[in-house]
């Protein structure tokens, strides 16, 4: 299980800190999980693929709004939690909720 603090991947201005390499890829993945979990239309806007190269699973992420985001892959044992994600660049809770098409 991967346990991460989102702010460890951000610089003092709130931008992604690692310039490249594995740390950057992990920051981008965790950011995608946060965006997925906090998007107002989480059930329909997009799917997030597992970060493991040969896995065909998708990531399921849950946000209860107060604590860490929990996530897991539908196919493999990849799973984790992300804390301290609130009000980061990936937090999409402020987006307007989608409206039904007429």
Residues 6+ apart with CB under 8 A from 50: 56, 57, 58, 59, 73, 74, 75, 76, 78
pLDDT the model gives residue 21: 96
pLDDT tens column, 20-68: 999 999 999 999 999 999 888 755 556 899 999 899 999 999 887 778 9
pLDDT the model gives residue 42: 58
pTM score? 0.87
pLDDT the model gives residue 99: 66
pLDDT the model gives residue 18: 95
Question: Could you state, in order of their start, the residue ranges of all structural domains in the chain?
Answer: 2-83
């Amino acid at each position: 299980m991967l346990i991460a603090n989102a702010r460890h991947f951000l610089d003092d201005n709130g931008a992604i800190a690692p310039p490249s390499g594995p740390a950057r890829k992990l920051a981008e993945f965790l950011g995608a999980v946060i965006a997925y979990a906090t998007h107002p239309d989480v059930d329909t806007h997009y799917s997030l693929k597992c970060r493991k190269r040969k896995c065909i699973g998708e990531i399921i992420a849950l946000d209860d709004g107060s604590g860490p985001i929990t996530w897991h892959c539908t196919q493999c044992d990849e799973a984790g939690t992300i804390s301290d994600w609130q009000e980061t660049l990936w937090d999409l809770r402020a987006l307007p909720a989608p409206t039904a098409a007429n």
